[in-house]
Amino acid sequence: MITSTTCGACGHSSHTQFASPDLVGPIVSGRFDRARDPAWRQSGAATVEDYARWCGHLCGATCLRMALGPGAPSLFELRDGALKFGAYRVDAEGEIRGMIYAPAVGYVREVHGVDAAVHRTLRADEIGELLDAGRLVIASVHYAIRRPHEPAPGRGGHLVLVTARTPDGSGYHFHNPSGTNAATRTANLPVEHFEQFFAGRGISLTNRVLHSSPCGA
């Protein structure tokens, strides 16, 4: 099973928060039990029960994994590190909360040595400015962004990694941890269309691919 591909548009890996990319559609639609994912061990989870409980909450950790580039820890190693910093929390009722931005930024800076910043208010056009400054943006969007030809039902609640402007400069190229096919896992949308799903907040990080390549991304 393919668990990672390198995107020809931006040079970053494409990962899904579910271990089997070809099962993302059936899992998110409820037609397939995530506890039956045959590739669950590739996530780094200790048990299939741990995988099944957490994988639906790990869009943020998946974005971090893509942003950190080659050599990034497994998804559940990132989950464990983020938990220690409070970027994920489990409340008294057992509900999973996160990713929480400020402790996530602390985790990325201290453990992975990557400059990161919280953007509690962020306009859609400001994402482009951050990209131009050599940053990546983990943006809060509605999960329905994987169905971009339908009206946006809301904003926020899911995280995607914005890696570049589109070639014509009119939109954003982003990686979606819960994209259901190749076209929605590495996708392009005009800025005004992206904005319909965007909650106006996120995290920016140094673009390691851009800064490690003499030719840019």
- Could you read off the pLDDT of 15-41 as tens digits, one per residue? 999 999 999 999 999 999 999 999 999
At 97 the three-state DSSP class reads strand
- Could you read off the pLDDT of 73-90 as tens digits, one per residue? 999 999 999 999 999 999
Q: Is the pLDDT of residue 108 over 80?
A: yes
Sign, CA torsion 177/194/134/183 = positive
pLDDT at 2: 41
- Could you read off the pLDDT of 164-211 as tens digits, one per residue? 999 999 999 999 999 999 999 999 999 999 999 999 999 999 997 766
CA dist 72 to 31, 76, 93, 186, Å? Answer: 31, 11, 32, 19
Look up the pTM and report it.
0.94
Sole residue written with tokens 């339908």: 150
